[in-house]
Chains A and B, each alone.
Chain A
């Protein structure tokens, strides 16, 4: 127990503390904020962001960034529904995630082999993915209805009223935590984030690690897209647009260093819940969009000023 408490670092503790403060502040406004139903609803919405943020976190741990999230989410949603139309519903989810994997691998190849800065290469892949999706919908009106399984995974609550989407997030989270903590790959990810050159000299196949992380990120985004399509029963263009900035913000608020090498998955969970809760409370309070954006930005800067400050440069 004590070991566990020690492993929680300051940013994570503060993020969780802020979640509780948010809930208490919300409950002053309306007692519904503490009801189990509301909280479960929040977790369901947070699960989509959580899936995206899981992949983003791996890439950020490497010291890179993935700006192709918006259209990879869309690719996941639209290709899964299209595959259901082409070959039958059982192909929907595998094909959607597979398309995310393909784009993710291309991201990884560009960053690891061509050494193009990830920020600009993933931006280019985002544009290409958008182009492919526009072409896809334009010519031959593909199926855009989600399959029953997708809808079931995203919306239904089978066990104890907990949404299925939360279980998917939890499953993915466990896989990532085990990978980061218990496998060589996880160690390599942190090592590359700290000193890529040194990791390479230690005999690690750094290229493969980078490609793997971008591939996982692509798959996570596509999976989130698949579930989102199930949630809204439809895959549509630009469905991933609202996920890029919140995902990066969630990862960073959870204490992961934006330049890589440091961070824990627990922090990312805290960041995701924090962002979702903040968005939800502001919308329940019927705060206009303008105020929501301003508060959102101020909270991110304010929290990072508390615990995310860098070192002073001294030679």
Chain B
């Protein structure tokens, strides 16, 4: 019982995020002219899964106490790459997918190697590598276009058994195959340890370098999955700095809304998924409530600001003011 209480208090952020999402999505569906039909759910899922994957990618470096400002650019880079090589017969397509995912992981590994061996700050490192990845994306695809294996793209963006959106299954698979095993592994637990107290983790024999490298590499891989998915959704590739930037910034917001601490050591990728879902549902709500388009950006901004300020409730409960500075 005590264990249960502890678990609940530890995943408070996640539980709040899930509740908020369920409430918002219910509000959305009840006000949608068509109600909860398969096409409505599939469209919502396809949009949300893209951000959810990028937010998962952002979560890993954040857990170690770092940050990855290049996730959006890796997302764009893999999108451009996928639009050139994921096509043709099944064998070629499969090969293309593997290459895309490897490139994503490699980009993440480079970030990790610079942070770990170069001992540069993650913010500035990923700021710079983000520019490099964007440059490479532009080299691959100077103008928007390209193609992708259409049957696969259709399959990935529609439904399985005409009920469940395939993209949601992909997200579930990523959680089951990548995130949960990683979180429960020694290296994954090392990420949490490094994030909450790097010095203490070092003294306890945690391999800091290996944990950080794994976090950044996996982050790149997840961004690669997202880039692949974007290609399936848009059927093309585009090296757009603004899309990359928007996804990077939204991913940070999703991570925070999902209950992961930006100081590292607490939270998880599941929360980030719901954080991303919440952000996407805000946009959808604006649509169904028919808010004048001119007011939409302001409304989104205010909602985002209020959502991230919710964490401030802590400040008013604190009794010892020195705790503020931790």
Contact = CB atoms under 8 A, between A and B. Distances in A.
B129 A290 contact: no
Interface in B293-326: 294-302, 304-305, 308-309, 311-312, 314-315, 321-322, 324-326
Interface stretch (B1-9, B27-35, B44-52, B195-203): B195-203
A196 interface: yes
B67 interface: yes
Given A297-B129, A305-B118, A124 B312 contact: no
Given A114-B312, A131-B299, A134-B294, A297 B124 contact: no
Nearest to A127: B301
Mostly, the A contact residues are helix
A116 interface: yes
A151 to B, nearest CB: 29
Given A116-B311, A290-B136, A200 B325 contact: yes
Nearest to B142: A290
B63 interface: no
Contacts of A186: none
Contacts of B256: 117, 120
B298 A131 contact: yes
Given A124-B305, A297-B130, A315-B202, A135 B294 contact: yes
Nearest to A295: B135
Interface string A189-213: 0000000110011000000000000
B252 interface: yes
B326 to A, nearest CB: 8
Nearest to B127: A245
A65 interface: yes
A304 B304 contact: no
Given A291-B135, A304-B120, A310-B119, 11 more contacts: A116-B312, A123-B252, A135-B298, A139-B294, A241-B242, A252-B124, A258-B121, A288-B138, A293-B134, A297-B132, A305-B120
B142 A121 contact: no
Contacts of A132: 298
A309 to B, nearest CB: 4
A174 to B, nearest CB: 27
B81 interface: no
Contact of A297 (B135, B200, B203, B312): B135
B139 interface: yes
B249 interface: yes
A249 B315 contact: no
A138 interface: yes
Contact of A301 (B128, B295, B311): B128
B127 A196 contact: no
Contact of A310 (B67, B120, B128, B262): B120
Interface in B222-236: none
Contacts of B119: 309-312
B127 A300 contact: yes
A128 interface: yes
Nearest to B305: A124
Contacts of B252: 119-120, 123
A121 to B, nearest CB: 6
B124 A120 contact: no
Interface string A284-315: 00001111111111101100110011111111
Contacts of A297: 128-132, 135
B312 A245 contact: no
Contacts of B263: 117
Contacts of B131: 245, 293-294, 296-297, 300
A197 B325 contact: yes
A24 interface: no
Q: What are the 4 tightest A-B residue pairs by CB atom distance, in nearest-first order?
A: A131-B298, A293-B135, A127-B301, A124-B305
Interface in A241-282: 241, 245, 248-249, 252, 258-259
Interface residues of A, number: 59
13 contacts: A115-B312, A119-B262, A120-B262, A128-B301, A134-B297, A135-B295, A135-B297, A290-B139, A301-B120, A305-B120, A309-B118, A309-B120, A313-B199
Nearest to B306: A124
B124 A131 contact: no
Contacts of A173: none
B170 interface: no
A308 B123 CA distance: 13
Contacts of B200: 315
Contact of A300 (B128, B203, B249): B128
A254 to B, nearest CB: 12
A293 B134 CA distance: 7
A116 B310 CA distance: 9
B125 interface: yes
Contact of A249 (B127, B136, B298): B127
B123 A65 contact: yes
A310 B114 CA distance: 11
Nearest to A257: B121
B266 to A, nearest CB: 13
B208 interface: yes
B144 to A, nearest CB: 14
Nearest to B313: A114
Contact of A121 (B127, B198, B308, B325): B308
B138 A293 contact: yes
Interface in B249-267: 249, 252-253, 256, 262-263
Given A117-B263, A197-B325, A294-B136, A127 B300 contact: yes
Contact of A196 (B208, B295, B325): B325
Contact of A114 (B125, B128, B315, B321): B315
